[in-house]
Every structure is written in C-alpha cells, then in structure tokens.
C-alpha cells in the first residue's frame, strides 16, 4: 500500500459524527495531526522529485502547497497542545 493510500485509509476511518467529548476531540486531533504530517512529507517528496521536470510556476505552486501542509500540521499541533494544557472543556 502506498503512503497516499494509507493516508486516505486513515482519514476515511475518522468518524463523520461530531465529537461528543474532549477525549474524542483529542483522538481526532491526534489522528489528523499525524495525517497532516504525512501529507506534508508526501508533498515534499513530490516537490523534490518534480524539480527539473516542471516549469517555475509549477515549482512555486508545489512549494506553496508543501508550506501550507506544513503550516496545517503546526496549527493542529498547537490545537492539540492547547487541549492538553487546558484539559476538558464543557460544550456550549
């Protein structure tokens, strides 16, 4: 199974229903953060392998896509850290 297929399988395994507890939010954030990191790795590999085969606009677009994926990973890491630091919150 390729990295992308494994990533898709992991994401498809996430529940569609809204989380009902802080533990569920934590579990989902952990899974999504892991997937975001893997997606950034996939994009980085594509970006590196495309050098010399694509034009400058495509190279720039791949760089932006990788950076956005990396930023997404960092934002999810911040959200998870905040959840860990503040503990469970009550739903409104």
Tens-digit pLDDT profile for residues 13-33:
989 899 999 899 999 999 999
Residue 39: count other Cβ atoms within 10 Å of its Cβ: 20
- Retrieve residue 42's tokens: 């996939």
Note the pLDDT tens digit of each residue in 29-84: 999 999 999 999 999 999 999 999 999 999 999 999 999 999 999 999 999 999 98
- Dihedral sign for Cα atoms in the order 14, 71, 38, 23: negative
The model's pTM: 0.84
């Amino acid at each position: 199974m390729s990295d992308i297929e494994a990533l898709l399988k992991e994401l498809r395994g996430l529940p569609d229903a809204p989380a009902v507890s802080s533990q569920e939010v934590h579990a989902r954030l952990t899974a999504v953060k892991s997937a975001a990191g893997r997606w950034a790795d996939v994009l980085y590999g594509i970006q590196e392998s495309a050098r010399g085969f694509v034009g400058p606009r495509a190279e720039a677009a791949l760089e932006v896509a990788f950076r956005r994926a990396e930023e997404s990973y960092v934002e999810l890491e911040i959200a998870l850290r905040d959840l860990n630091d503040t503990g469970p919150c009550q739903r409104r």
